[in-house]
A and B are shown apart, each in its own frame.
Chain A
């Protein structure tokens, strides 16, 4: 049994449909492949879809923790990816937003079992709701996922700005999804990074990218985990690289705002 606190990371995007959940699932699976114990929590209470993507049909969900005071262990699911999952309830209208105390209950429940894991991945909802912000505040590392769409770029930037202004957090890790190639991903990263430095006064950390590939929608349709089903596909390779990078850099947990790393982007 582990006793050390795990690294908690949140995945947010601002805009929906950017591929945040896909990345969260594949990262979780890849980290398991690296021998880590991973807990994933679907915090997207408005439109839960981790369970759907994994072909699960949970009886108990995060809602039971938030409102019925069930423990995290009572609602845990074991997934095909080897990681544990706390699913969210979909289609419950009033669940889109949680009251602070419900969020606190969730946080407490996570902390109770956190010692069993190396990584806790929080898949937050779309938008910049207070629930999303609270999970970002709770997480040690804040990963922002964006793609090539301008709306995604703007929403990712808005998310970063709000979290920075509300909580003073200035350490964000970026993943560019559906990039045609590494150079394009880096270009998008450099662009948003330069805007952050110019307007917010800090730089971002580049984690990596996921290639635009038709194996992605195929794996989602089959409700399989791409990085396990097609590990040699470009996105599969990207996911493994991302997991390695996270495993190398996140465990150090530097004290304050990060500097651009040596292997980081060329500005």
Chain B
């Protein structure tokens, strides 16, 4: 059913909704005063009633939340309708009100959704969000050709803290580590608490070389944080790069990074281990322009000729 705007003529309106409103009752509803800015003005009760026609009118004004006014026009006597008239002055914006309610619910929904994706202790993203985000970044890499990097980290000797200072202090330390990670990384990076004392970072548009440097910086920051505790707490990290040409699946990428982390742990902790080949930062092929290449290759004919002479 099409929306019935005030611009539609009365008769058309009646036709459209198969109006059952009795003529005398219709008269009750005054004509809408012409307004210069249609749509922007607040609607009067009368307007709303006109909009909805007869039947159940449900509204919840901003001023009287939870107080619903139900008007069943057809069942009202002329006197009752008379009595209702003052209500017309009460302007309510039903649609805006509904919209507000919807937005409120939506916000609440987001909050709950966020709660389901955020780690309660540290405020970092959780494992569930990690998987979704990694999936996104991997497909972004395939689309844009820019590599992304995955970093998995684990605190060394964290158990010692829990054992000596208690779990409350342990939790406090985890929060500090989370803050250090947040401060040391870019806003584009996704930082997750993978569980326990394990953290992961997804770095978009970051190659292996750059991510190793980032990991190294994080190691230093955590070391500085843990130093005063004197419990030998440090950070071990495994790094893996995902490129558009990479055959790795999400699961394999996580597994490869995890193996790198395991290797870092196994070979003495407080270090970064990479999985895969660290490529040079600069791509020579991209450095030389077409014109430069053409000029360089102008030597080709001569060299080939020379090569033939050598073989003779």
Contact = CB atoms under 8 A, between A and B. Distances in A.
B303 A148 contact: yes
Interface in B258-312: 272-274, 277-278, 280-282, 284, 287-289, 291-293, 295-300, 302-303, 306-307, 310
B306 A162 contact: no
Contacts of B292: 157, 161, 195, 199
Most A-side CB within 10 Å, residue of B213, B273, B280, B289: B280
A127 B303 contact: no
Given A150-B296, A198-B295, A94 B281 contact: no
B216 interface: yes
Contact of A158 (B277, B284, B295): B284
A144 to B, nearest CB: 13
A180 B302 CA distance: 13
Contacts of B296: 150, 153-154, 157, 191-192, 195
Nearest to B295: A195
Nearest to A127: B280
A157 B293 CA distance: 9
Given A93-B278, A128-B282, A148-B303, A154 B298 contact: no
B282 A162 contact: yes
Contact of B299 (A155, A162, A191): A191
A237 interface: no
B173 interface: no
B288 A161 contact: yes
Interface in A153-208: 153-155, 157-159, 161-162, 180, 184, 187-188, 191-192, 195, 198-199
A127 B287 CA distance: 12
Nearest to A149: B303
B293 A154 contact: yes
Given A93-B278, A96-B278, A99-B213, A127 B295 contact: no
Interface string B69-93: 0000000000000000000000000
Contacts of A127: 280, 284
B295 A199 contact: yes
Interface class of chain A by DSSP? helix
B278 to A, nearest CB: 4
Nearest to A148: B303
A128 B302 contact: no
A191 B281 CA distance: 28
A97 B297 CA distance: 31
B212 interface: yes
B212 to A, nearest CB: 7
B278 A97 contact: yes
Interface of A: 14, 93-94, 96-97, 99-100, 127-130, 132-133, 148, 150, 153-155, 157-159, 161-162, 180, 184, 187-188, 191-192, 195, 198-199
16 contacts: A93-B278, A94-B278, A96-B278, A97-B281, A129-B281, A130-B281, A130-B282, A150-B299, A154-B288, A158-B284, A161-B287, A161-B288, A180-B306, A191-B296, A195-B296, A199-B291
Given A99-B213, A195-B296, 15 more contacts: A14-B284, A94-B273, A97-B278, A97-B281, A100-B213, A127-B284, A128-B282, A129-B280, A129-B281, A129-B282, A130-B282, A132-B280, A150-B296, A187-B302, A199-B289
- 10 closest Cβ contacts across the A-B interface? A129-B280, A158-B284, A127-B280, A97-B278, A128-B282, A158-B287, A191-B299, A130-B281, A195-B295, A96-B278
